[in-house]
Amino acid sequence: MTSIDSRPAEQPELPSQYVPADVEGVLYERWVERGYFVADPSSEKPPYCIVIPPPNVTGSLHLGHAFEHTLIDALVRRRRMQGYEALWQPGMDHAGIATQNVVERELAKQGLSRHDLGREAFVERVWQWKAESGGKILGQMRRLGDGVDWSRERFTMDEGLSKAVQTHFKRLYDDGLIYRAERIINWCPRCRTALSDIEVEHTDDDGELVSIRYGDGDESIVVATTRAETMLGDTAVAVHPDDERYRHLIGKTVTLPLTDRRIPVVADEHVDPAFGTGAVKVTPAHDPNDFEIGQRHGLPNLTMMDESARVTVHGPFEGMDRYEARPAVVAALRAEGRIVAEKRPYVHAVGHCSRCGTTVEPRLSLQWFVNVAPLAKAAGDAVRDGRVQIHPKELESRYFGWVDNMHDWCISRQLWWGHRIPVWYGPAGEVRCVGPDEERPGDGWTQDPDVLDTWFSSGLWPFSTLGWPDKTPALEKFYPNSVLVTGYDILFFWVVRMMMFGLYAMDGEAPFKTVALHGMVRDKFGKKMSKSFGNAVDPLEWMDAYGSDALRFTLARGANPGTDVPIGEEWVQGSRNFCTKLWQVTGGFALRNGARVGELPPAEELSAADRWILSRLHATIAEVDGYYEDYQFAKAVDALYHFAWDEFCDWYVELAKVPLAHGGREAEVTRLVLGHVLDRLLRLLHPVVPFVTEALWTALTGGESIVVADWPEAEPRWSDPTAEAEVAELQRLVTEVRRFRSDQGLKPGQRVPARLAGLSEGALAAHEEAVRSLTRLAAAGEEFDTSASLPIGGVVVELDLRGSVDFAKERARLEKDLAAAETERSKALGKLGNEAFLGKAPPPVVEKVKAQLASAEADIERIEAQLATLPAA
């Protein structure tokens, strides 16, 4: 850590204008070259570790990444400054489907498919693409300022993580927690693979609801469906056992239209008798609920579509695509008089492959699954007993909703890019799971062709990146991770999997102590960002235009735990203005006036303004620390913004101009106070706006780097309620005079003769020069004539406005304000005199009305006093 007590004698000159592009890239590379982000497992410092939610190797930086990375970087930078051995672990996910699709599209441009190359050559081609084009996001992370330990960068398909995946699979398999079975899964006919739930995006699509009559006469029954073609795979009709309409049919069979089959009518409590006709068609091989019904009643599973969603049932529809078969089946049913009703359009939720947009098919398929019951229970217990904290706490219920109701997890994917399932099949039907250090079977054995779901390997991320299954110094130092920062949208898909796998692999030790969940970035109207909506934003464009710091500041200022974050370009512009303000105040004012960092004199030697800003600074430090510990990023950044802009720049800098103009001891003390405040303010701001603070802090202090400077600590000795009250009174006086000047249309630089009656008798006696400087009030001359009087606290400001103000207009304005204040007073008095209101209104509401009354009466008193001082019309 670096502690600076004085600035260099030769102070470097800062450019007059802040140009982010001239600062950011150079500083980042300097940080990396000096090894500031490298974590040392042998260090005796307390550990602090966050793993990056691994971006896809195919991805590029979007606003969601920028938002999440800003929050993580802020946490890690602050802990590093606090003396922790801080590790932000970087890496990327191999993104099985997405990456394979990218390379297949490249091959298609050459008229080739992966099958033309063969599996081995295709995988080699993917590795080649990864080396040449993958990982673009890593460079963009540097643009954003991510303080990750690049020396530890990992990839979910690298040798070490592949070993971790095989080891984990083998252990789960040997413990009976991995099995192979036929189950209903999400299937993409385009990608021709099973999908996880997170790879399925649901939208409300227009469909066609048709009602079909099965059977004839008294033994007929009507069912409704949006997928008429799937009736070819029906093996039953289900009704509720208590539904009187169909009690006579239960146990009987009805004829399935367009086929020669008869199917049973079964009674199942899953059926809702109030929905539709109260009868449902059962297609066990193509619907998860139907599959469960089929299991309960021993129904056959009839697959009526192949992997490409083409009909396989023998007959006139065989070979048709599902979308060709649907109208053809409806037409055939209509021709037979089986269509009872049709509803077009019919809006219903439809799942689509997130990678290619194809409508997903529920499909019965032989796949590998994880038996999640014991793993999920352990993951739930870790939160319930307090070993892991979910923040904000109200999202715990969502977490428990997942872990307490998990279905077994389908982990196999019909891809070539990914971790190959380490199971071999022998010539006599033998099955063998082979660990990473075991010899593979010989001739006659074949390996399972499927690969593992990407989430399987990313579920190991908190410990596989640290060297597991080997007992490395990094694993010993940094596991469990300190906190996981991620979006609430992947609470189930990633967080729960890491919890299950971490607890299982690491002997019951959870992978992190806290899960800090954030929301999604939306546009300024709160709408989801999407290219189709035309509101998607490339963060790199905003970084080019306004700087990375401006984007980071905007995102962090909107980061309330667990809630979505609206963002608009004008807000980023405002943050750029904030950075520019820091630059101007530090370089254009403080440094130019000789501000320096050194030991402050005792409080009794400081002015009220000095004591006030020091009191406010150290209160802000304590406030910001509290917000950081509670992951209240927005509140921490907002507190810093208001202190920096409203208190330091708008008030203290202006107040400091008086002693600086005097010179001597007063000026020297002011320079020390300016340096003290700026030093700590820049360090407080550094985690969120690292670049501008680095440039300014090193110029101010001559220190090596703000990255390795100490985090400021609140010092109670500087707390000074008396000084705060005194300056608050000063601010009120100045603000009221400024408001009056604005109301009169006086030019900002126009000096007005004034007397400050009562100033010398009160707490503001020593501030006359500051008051006059801040309000542009000149001393009263011999010909002074009071034309307006402002009673403000214990001071009466008398002004000579001759030649400056239209008194008739001023009287009219004041009379209008007086009427409005009297109306407000009457309303408040009416409510407080109403017994019914007082009896029913909550105490806070009553107190609010009392406050409104007091404010109105104060306004009336002030306005009447001003009217009394105006010259007669």
Binding site members: 531
CA neighbours closer than 13 Å in the CB half-sphere of residue 570: 2
Show the beta-strand stretches assigned E in 459-532: 481-487, 512-518, 521-523
CA neighbours closer than 13 Å in the CB half-sphere of residue 826: 6
The one-character DSSP state at 74 is H
Contact 285, 363 (CB under 8 A): yes
For 69, 317, 728, 823, 861, the CA distances from 735, given in Å and listed in that order, are: 40, 82, 10, 25, 18
Residue positions in the annotated binding site for ATP?
A: 531
Distance CA 408, CA 25 (A): 47
For 213, 279, 341, 676, 833, the CA distances from 276, given in Å and listed in that order, are: 13, 8, 12, 73, 58
Distance CA 679, CA 618 (A): 12
CA neighbours closer than 13 Å in the CB half-sphere of residue 784: 16
CA neighbours closer than 13 Å in the CB half-sphere of residue 592: 13
Q: Is 488 left (phi over 0), alpha (psi -120 to 50) or beta?
A: alpha
How do strand 565-567 and strand 521-523 relate by DSSP bridges?
parallel
Strand partners, 254: 263
Strand partners, 796: 757, 791
Query: Would you state the structure tokens that stand for residue 204, as one six-digit string?
Result: 């409300």
Show the beta-strand stretches assigned E in 428-579: 431-433, 446-447, 451-452, 481-487, 512-518, 521-523, 565-567
Pinpoint the alpha helices (H) of 256-311: 288-297
Distance CA 836, CA 803 (A): 54
Which residue do the tokens 């370089």 mark? 587
Strand partners, 209: 343
Distance CA 25, CA 31 (A): 10
Burial class (CB in 10 A: 0-12, 13-18, 19+), 314: exposed
Residue count of the chain: 873
Contact 615, 540 (CB under 8 A): no
* CA-wise closest residue to 116 among 128, 104, 127: 104
Pinpoint the alpha helices (H) of 109-214: 114-117, 119-132, 136-144, 159-174
Strand partners, 202: 351
Strand partners, 343: 209
* CA-wise closest residue to 50 among 516, 454, 521: 516
Distance CA 92, CA 110 (A): 28
Distance CA 681, CA 166 (A): 49
Distance CA 413, CA 194 (A): 5
